[in-house]
Amino acid sequence: METGKEGRGVEQTYSYKWLARGGTIVTIILCLFMVKAGLEGKFHSVETLQEYIKGFGIFAPMILILIQAFQVVVPVLPGFLGCIVGAVLFGAMGGFWCNYIGICAGSIIAFALARYYGAPLVKNLFPAKQYETWINRLQNKRSYTCFFFLCILLPLAPDDFLCYLSGVIKMPVKKYVLIILSAKPWCLLFYSFGVGVFIN
């Protein structure tokens, strides 16, 4: 029985290593493109981001997905910008799916990076004081699970940071992915259809 558990543990370790290394390479490549686009002023407003994404033609949905994944892994852009642009360019449902796929992928990559590289990575991406404050608060993992679910469910919560934190505290992978996939759609639907109503 122990051998089975050890085998699963080794398999999970290799999975984290593969995902973390792959995520690192993808993030570095995206960083180069994002820095170039940022220096060109593509992210200054909804309008400039919209024109930038539209310029990729049939690949525009994929570009939005990549941008939304990137802004979770490297939290330098507000995610709602992509939500607004997605709804404007692709309609409420088209924008929703692009944002959902991108943000969920980014959330899973962030979790894997934190699980593999640990607290030093999180402290480099976020203020160390913020990290220490949250770690000290985490006395009850069950209450954290409920809190994390609500933060993913509701808009404007610090969910990027909490995705990394969940990896550091070693939240079970299946539980984490289930929360991301089931809770994230609702605030994205709110953004997508809210923008659609506003436009119409």
For residue 19, how many other CB atoms are within 10 A of its CB?
17
| Residue numbers of the chain with a pLDDT score lower than 70 | 1-17, 19-20, 139-142, 156, 195-200
Reference 111, options 38, 36, 174, 190; nearest CA is 174
Buried/exposed code over 123-154 (b: 16+ C-beta within 10 A; e: otherwise): bebbeeeebeebeeeeeeeeebbeebbebbbe
73 vs 138: CA distance, rounded Å: 22
168-177 pLDDT, tens per residue?
A: 888 898 999 9
Which of 74, 120, 75, 69 lies closest to 99 in space, CA to CA? Answer: 69
Query: Which pLDDT score, from 0 to 100, does residue 3 have?
Result: 47
Token couple for 98: 């692009």
Between the two ends of the chain, the Cα-to-Cα distance in Å is: 60
Q: Give the pLDDT score at 83.
A: 86
Task: Quick: pLDDT tens for 71-115.
Answer: 898 887 777 788 888 888 998 899 999 999 999 999 999 998 898
Query: Does the predicted TM-score (pTM) go above 0.95?
Result: no
Q: What is the pLDDT of residue 4?
A: 47
